[in-house]
Chain A
Amino acid sequence: GAVVSQHPSRVICKSGTSVKIECRSLDFQATTMFWYRQFPKKSLMLMATSNEGSKATYEQGVEKDKFLINHASLTLSTLTVTSAHPEDSSFYICSARGLAVTDTQYFGPGTRLTVL
């Protein structure tokens, strides 16, 4: 299957700092990338959908000014958690879908964010 990478795999930061997470599709072009948040023993919660070259679409309740998403190319999307607080600590997972809406969606390995 297609490969999606995520970096870093885990990050620990102090409260008030910003953290950037990168998501790359390694062997295919991804028109659409998704960012999910997952709490322990819970399902995946979609935060936002980004299409290459356009603004991200955020799900209800997700602060767009806090979770900045950039999808500058067909292989790279970034999520920046601005002014992070302990309640932002979570497992963040990106996902990428190919050029067609009906294409399979592949997930990255996730990033464990811990805010002290």
Chain B
Amino acid sequence: GENVEQHPSTLSVQEGDSAVIKCTYSDSASNYFPWYKQELGKGPQLIIDIRSNVGEKKDQRIAVTLNKTAKHFSLHITETQPEDSAVYFCAAFSGSARQLTFGSGTQLTVLP
């Protein structure tokens, strides 16, 4: 089945700096890659996603890049703010499994 690895597990940045979280996946048939933000005590919230026919997608301060050949995708947050502090999960959707496989999560802390 699909296996998703996520790094780093924790990340601290100064307010205004950029943050990058990376994920790799194993199933070459996976074709959809969402990113979720989870604040303490809440459910995951979809923040951006990308499909395998696109290499990059941007939404204001957030961008995601996908390298299908290398089977990795990354989340980029620019001009970080304290409210960006949360746990971020990447995921990969495999058509064969018909479900999402999640990474282990990254605790992002933005220091004021």
Contact = CB atoms under 8 A, between A and B. Distances in A.
A binds B: yes
Interface of A: 1, 4, 6, 34, 41-44, 46, 49, 93, 101-102, 104-110, 112
Contacts of B104: 42-43
Nearest to B103: A43
A104 B89 contact: no
B105 A43 contact: yes
Nearest to A9: B41
Contact of B43 (A46, A49, A93): A93
A107 B44 contact: yes
B100 A105 contact: yes
27 contacts: A1-B46, A6-B43, A42-B104, A42-B105, A43-B102, A43-B104, A43-B105, A44-B44, A44-B89, A46-B99, A93-B43, A93-B44, A101-B95, A102-B32, A102-B95, A104-B34, A104-B49, A105-B34, A105-B46, A105-B100, A107-B43, A107-B44, A107-B46, A108-B43, A110-B41, A110-B42, A112-B41
